[in-house]
Structure 1
């Protein structure tokens, strides 16, 4: 019934609990999950999850905020993205959040390595004709500009993809939608402070909306602050149903259909 379009089941908080997580998913009617890669070093582990379970799929990519890891080349990303049950490139994008605190006082100009890495992912996605899973945080202008630079404007034959764990403004959502991208909402949409995000969730067209957990992070209310799992994605769906004034089953149906539409090969 429900599909978690973005989770990190190989992370330490969840790895040892996989059997229990799968039981909880079944009980919550969460039928499928996309396991997201954040470094090249972890790709074999993420890919193994997809190979071992017929309701998991994988991506290939390096998170924009990861430093001190293997830098992905175009050739390496293409090779990984062409593997069985790998349905997307990413997560990738730009993260300028907390420049002073988290990045040692570096300027945005100092983060050219992030922009170079993002461009490599876009080229890989276009090469293999698979969508991008995009992370953008405090960097939406540059994220959109680089996508446009590479022709990602919604035309036939472009990679397209999804802006995952969306927390940007309604104007950014409009631009992303105009460029052909999907918008995915996480447990953040259930937070008391997220009224502006709920307004975005009410605006996004039905055929472009996805739901996710980003587990083990960002557990929705009423589990906020706890370890998140794909079994909690129905709480995200319920919040979307509430703000859009539609039945929960409708959100489950359309987000699962959109998942299949975006990520070719996940209907099995």
Structure 2
């Protein structure tokens, strides 16, 4: 059973004119036959690029590409009415199956203030609910941030703020979504699951200091797990430090399968079924 990379930034592969196609062919050869390309770009002006890749990628030896579109919390100051109109137009297209990645990020000093981030998040949840599209969540706290960032964001907890906003503005719609690159605690995982989310595990699952992530991955129900690369970031062990790419999701999947006491083939079957359940419009295409 082929794997699905549920989160990759394919528009980053521009170092050479052929880099993206080479990356996609390596993915297909490695058994990664479907990729969800994340459409945040460098901000709203380029968030259409993932959908362009999805719409233009086809052929033997290439994965099927679906796309998302969204305004990352680091770009929350640019979540203008015009940007939200563009997002709605993108989300209305067939191969754009999700809104995201969206959420809260209290990690960098130069990130927008909390009020601005929250408003952009709320606006995009409302838009996604209107479009009947699941959302892809980005959440990063200030725990490991620089002293300047910690001073700026103070005692605020991105997870607590995020889950409260989801409970108020998203869960009532019963549309679900993905906790992308889940990096929280078992408690945060349980609360995310209760809110209707799938937990997607990336290369940091394999890092020595990531025991809390592994604990969450071990306890998650089998029908609510996914795997991703977050490529070109977070290459898994044994490739940590390299430029990540979708082919490398096989390492994360193998680690997750071992953690859960199942075979890599069983994990591929389960995560593919989970992806199709969350995104039912992909079911027919993924029969191939």
Q: Distance in 2 between matches of 1:15 and 1:181?
A: 37
1:87–1:264: 8 Å Cα contact kept in structure 2?
no
Q: TM-score, length-normalised on structure 2?
A: 0.85
Q: Which residue of 1 aligns with 2:102?
A: 92
Out of 80, 85, 88, the position equivalent to 1:75 is 85
Q: TM-score, length-normalised on structure 1?
A: 0.91
Q: Distance in 2 between matches of 1:193 and 1:13?
A: 32
Q: Distance in 1 between matches of 2:169 and 2:75?
A: 23
Q: Which residue of 1 aligns with 2:48?
A: 44
Unaligned runs of 5+ in 2: 59-63, 142-157
Higher helix share: 2
Q: Distance in 2 between matches of 1:74 and 1:103?
A: 22
1:159: how far off? 2.5
1:4: how far off? 0.2
Aligned pair 1:218/2:234, yes or no?
A: yes
1:94: how far off? 0.3
Out of 249, 266, 270, the position equivalent to 1:233 is 249
Q: Which residue of 1 aligns with 2:199?
A: 183
Out of 125, 128, 153, the position equivalent to 1:122 is 125
**Stretch of structure 1 that moved more, 242-251 or 58-67:** 58-67
1:41–1:70: 8 Å Cα contact kept in structure 2?
no
Q: Which residue of 1 aligns with 2:183?
A: 167
**Stretch of structure 1 that moved more, 36-45 or 24-33:** 36-45
Q: Which residue of 2 aligns with 1:147?
A: 166
Q: Which residue of 2 aligns with 1:259?
A: 275
1:125–1:159: 8 Å Cα contact kept in structure 2?
no
1:14–1:216: 8 Å Cα contact kept in structure 2?
no
RMSD (Å) for aligned C-alpha atoms: 1.8
1:75: how far off? 3.3
Q: Which residue of 2 aligns with 1:2?
A: 3
1:61–1:91: 8 Å Cα contact kept in structure 2?
yes
1:42: how far off? 1.5
Q: 1:70 to 1:94 in 2, by over 3 A?
A: closer
Q: Distance in 2 between matches of 1:14 and 1:187?
A: 22
Q: Which residue of 2 aligns with 1:21?
A: 23
Q: Distance in 1 between matches of 2:33 and 2:205?
A: 22
2:205–2:252: 8 Å Cα contact kept in structure 1?
yes
Aligned residue pairs: how many?
Answer: 258
